[in-house]
Amino acid sequence: MSMIEVENVTKRFGPILAVDHISFSIARGEVVGFLGPNGAGKSTTMRILAGFFPPTSGRATVGQFDVVSQSFQVRQMIGYFPERVSVYPDLPVRSFLDFVAEAKDVPRMSRKSEVARVIDACGLDRVKDRVIGHLSKGYRQRVGIAQALLHKPQVLILDEPTIGLDPEQVVEIRRLIRDLGSERTVILSTHILSEVSSVCDRVIVIDRGKILASESLANLRAQLQRTRQIRVDLEGPEAPVSGLLQSFPGVESLRRTSSDTASLAFVLDYQGEDIRKQVSKAILDQGWGLLEIRSLEPTLEDMYLQLIRLEDRRLEAAL
């Protein structure tokens, strides 16, 4: 069952078309990466879902509640971490979270336990009595996520949660997001490709306000990977080796990738079924030394750039 449904949503700011007739759905319990360059329409879409402003046209629902006509119910279901999270730097962490809990109408009887729960969930116990303004940015991000969790939302929207963090802090926040995703639906808006591949079940790619893809990484790879690649490392005479490798059916190109005179390394681009067994047997039958043979899978960066190029070509053809 879908937790989020977006149907033909458009958002204009005067003459600027920020979101252009987008549609997608997100199931309960999914962790979805909303991926695109800066200015692609990610934050606008997140703010529509969080009820900050309505779409110009189209319809969006969260838990079957309409984000415009039932915005109060939607806000009860969503925890929102904006790109620029607002905290009170002069307050200690626990006091700030208690204030937010009161603002979110968390019942007085359970407020203390709720604050303790999100402090524990976000790894803030060691700094709970420290003033927020004295914390590292990584801990301030954790405070921002904690405030989004206070009313036990079923959906967590995180808009660029690791921006500006150092590598160690990024790893910590990603681990936290994975843990949070075990209990709720999570949308992670980001322009950092490695973020999606390390955290998310599925990716939605947006560029210039349009959805380019909405797939699991495996399905996206299968759709975009017209050719396969393998790398072969071996010892043998270069010309005969090159001739043998090019002789296999479906091989489109062959290039040497190593300058080491003691061994050879080639990358084959080919179409069809996996040919590693045939290639291995042929090399060994020739008496050459096979050092390694492996498939080269396209990275998320490769797939993302391919989607952008395909969209650029489509737009050029339409002119």
The pLDDT value given to residue 283: 93
Distance CA 93, CA 129 (A): 6
Regions of the chain where pLDDT drops below 70: 225-226, 258-261
SS3 71: helix
What integer pLDDT is reported at residue 260 of this predicted model? 60
Neighbouring C-beta atoms of residue 105, cutoff 10 Å? 10
The domains of the chain, with CATH numbers, are: 2-222 (3.40.50.300), 226-295 (3.30.70.260)
Residue 59 has a pLDDT of: 95
What is the number of alpha carbons within 13 Å of residue 216 lying toward its C-beta?
A: 6
CA–CA distance, 92 with 99 (Å, rounded to integer):
11
Q: By C-alpha distance, which of 237, 167, 192 is closest to 83? A: 192
| The pLDDT value given to residue 174 | 84
Q: Which residue reads 């005969």 in tokens?
A: 240
CA pseudo-torsion sign 168, 37, 32, 229 = negative
pTM value is: 0.74
Please tell me the distance from the alpha carbon of residue 171 to that of residue 212, in angstroms, as a whole number: 28
